[in-house]
Every structure is written in C-alpha cells, then in structure tokens.
C-alpha cells in the first residue's frame, strides 16, 4: 500500500477559502492520486477528460477499498461523479491543477451511477 498522502501546509486552507469545505481532505488527495493512477496507465502523459478521470477514480477506489468503495467515498462527501468534478475544479481554482478551454464540471456529470459502478459492478478476484 502506498504511503499516506497529505497536503503541504496551507493548501487545505486555500481549498477551504475558495469554498471547498464540502469534502474531506482525503477526497482531494484521492482525486490527485487517481490522476497519477490514470497517467501511469497511459503511454504518454496528457490532458485527460472528466469522464476518463471519473472512471479512474472508480478503478482506484475498487482497487484500494473493494466493496467498501462507495462507503469510503460517501464518508468523504463524494456521492456522484459530479463531486469528482467539483473537487477537480477546486484544485484548479488554487492552481494545483489546470484545465483546457472547454473543460467544465459538467464533464463529470452522470458518467456512471455509484450504486451500479461500485456495488453491482464489483467482481471478487480469486487466485
């Protein structure tokens, strides 16, 4: 398991100052980890779409938390793919991430249903 990530001093305060108090700190760190997770699967680092990142968040959550994925995300305030978009754009607002013209929180809306993606879609891997 990778070491626990944490924000440098002052970063969380900047997120909260721009209205990002809805989500637990771990939700922001998780989205950043999901970006790296996704980039690690690509042949070349590049800009990723909201839908691509939402699916990477799903995959990483299932890898890390298994059947508890939806419960963990819910405890962090994340209940839909739109929440991933709101987190991303909070991180953009404090210059931790950047966007391209046309990028929007709406790119994350309705990418998948949490219940279907995390509960019904979970496959137990056997050795």
* Tens digit of each residue's pLDDT (9 = 90 or more) over 68-106: 999 999 999 999 999 999 999 999 988 889 999 999 999
Domains of the chain: which residue ranges?
Answer: 23-120
What does the pLDDT read at residue 30? 95
DSSP the chain: -PPPP-PPTTHHHHHHHTT--SS-HHHHHHHHHHHHHHHHHSSS-----HHHHHHHHHHHHHHHHGGGHHHHHHHTT--SHHHHHHHHHHHHHTTSS---TT--GGGGTTS--HIIIIIIT------
* Tens digit of each residue's pLDDT (9 = 90 or more) over 26-35: 999 999 999 9
pLDDT at 21 over 90: no
> What pLDDT band is residue 1 in, cutting at 50, 70 and 90?
very low
């Amino acid at each position: 398991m990778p070491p626990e990530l944490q924000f440098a001093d002052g970063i969380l305060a900047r997120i909260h100052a721009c209205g990002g108090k809805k989500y637990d700190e771990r939700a922001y760190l998780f989205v950043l980890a999901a970006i790296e997770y996704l980039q690690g699967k690509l042949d070349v680092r590049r800009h990723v779409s909201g839908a691509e990142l939402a699916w990477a968040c799903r995959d990483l959550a299932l890898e890390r938390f298994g059947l508890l994925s939806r419960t963990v995300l819910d405890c962090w305030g994340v209940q839909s793919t739109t929440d991933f978009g709101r987190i991303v754009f909070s991180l953009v607002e404090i210059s931790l991430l950047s966007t391209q013209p046309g990028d929007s929180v709406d790119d994350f809306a309705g990418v998948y249903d949490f219940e279907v993606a995390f509960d019904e879609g979970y496959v137990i891997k056997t050795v």
